[in-house]
């Protein structure tokens, strides 16, 4: 199994090096797919951020309900986690504005 996998990886590496050395016959036409793909990325990132935040809050509330004595520590960890999750959406907004310009 590992010899077969090594052979496949070696074949792919050889094929990639020869295929990427070629130059296109015609110049590439300019297209506006950058902003469109950035917007799709923003939609996916925003949706996944919402799901991540919902899961984090649900788990934190469940943890606080099970152990009220540790509520302050759980709440602090939840807020830090939510800040990191939200930063993903903010970074994606920067990327969209970079490609849209």
Higher pLDDT, 38 or 55: 55
Tokens of residue 76, six digits:
């602090």
pLDDT reported for residue 21 = 63
pLDDT reported for residue 12 = 78
For residue range 42-93, list pLDDT tens digits in order. 888 889 889 999 999 999 999 999 999 999 999 999 999 999 988 988 888 8
Asked whether the whole model's pTM tops 0.75, one would answer no
Q: How far apart are CA 85 and CA 90, in angstroms?
A: 9
Domains of the chain listed by start with CATH number: 32-101 (1.20.20.10)
**Contact at 8 Å (CB) between 36 and 99?**
no
pLDDT category of residue 23 using cuts at 50, 70 and 90: low
- What is the C-alpha radius of gyration for the chain, rounded to an integer number of angstroms? 23
Q: How far apart are CA 48 and CA 32, in angstroms?
A: 25
Distant-in-sequence, close-in-space partners of 39: CB < 8 Å, separation ≥ 6: 96
Q: How far apart are CA 6 and CA 4, in angstroms?
A: 5
């Amino acid at each position: 199994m590992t010899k077969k996998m090594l052979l496949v990886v070696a074949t792919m590496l050889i094929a990639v090096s020869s295929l990427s050395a070629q130059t296109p016959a015609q110049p590439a036409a300019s297209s506006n797919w950058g902003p469109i793909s950035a917007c799709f990325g923003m939609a996916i990132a925003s949706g996944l951020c919402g799901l991540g935040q919902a899961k984090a809050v649900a788990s934190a509330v469940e943890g606080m309900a099970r152990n009220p004595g540790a509520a302050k520590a759980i709440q602090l960890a939840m807020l830090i986690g939510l800040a990191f999750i939200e930063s993903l959406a903010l970074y994606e907004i920067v990327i969209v504005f970079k490609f849209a310009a």
